[in-house]
Amino acid sequence: MDLKEIIRAIPDFPEKGITFRDITTILQDGKYFKQSIEEMAEAAAEFDFNVIVGPESRGFIFGTPLAYKLEKGFVPVRKKGKLPFKTISKSYDLEYGSDIIEMHIDAIKKGDRILIADDLLATGGTARAIVDLIEEAGGVVAGVLCLIELVDLNGRKLFDGYEVRSLIKY
């Protein structure tokens, strides 16, 4: 099945004029969820990496089963104040303001090759902040892999020099 056909479009959410791409229709059906992870695993095979980094919260949903399937480590990136150990942080801009993400200071070792995995590439702000965190920690960004990309928002422009793959484009 084409996963693009399974994703529900919700018009005017979170505000008028925006069409929200709802992945819960994939998650609630085991065969579609499995298919999404299988397809992401196939795409991930094109990258040379040893650790997957995923942002809270939907990056956890796709990143952890992908790491499990590929026998790679997984590093969570969370919003400020959610991780219990010493962290490094990065602020970034959102459509409606700014936010701060954090990662444990020892989560990535110098020279680790990292694949960033998430559900969606939109404006690219979160993923770009993750790139900066990874590089600050001494890691090497092998690439960015997303299930969905909202092409009109031009998130790719923040990743010149990095490989970006998305399975579904709107």
Catalytic center residues: 58, 95
Query: How does 37-68 read in b/e, with b if 16+ C-beta sit within 10 Å?
Result: beebeebbeebebbbbbbbeebbbbbbbbbbe
Distance between CA atoms of 138 and 23, rounded to whole angstroms? 33
Mapped onto helix, strand or coil, the DSSP state of residue 90 is strand
In contact, 104 and 86? CB cutoff 8 Å: yes
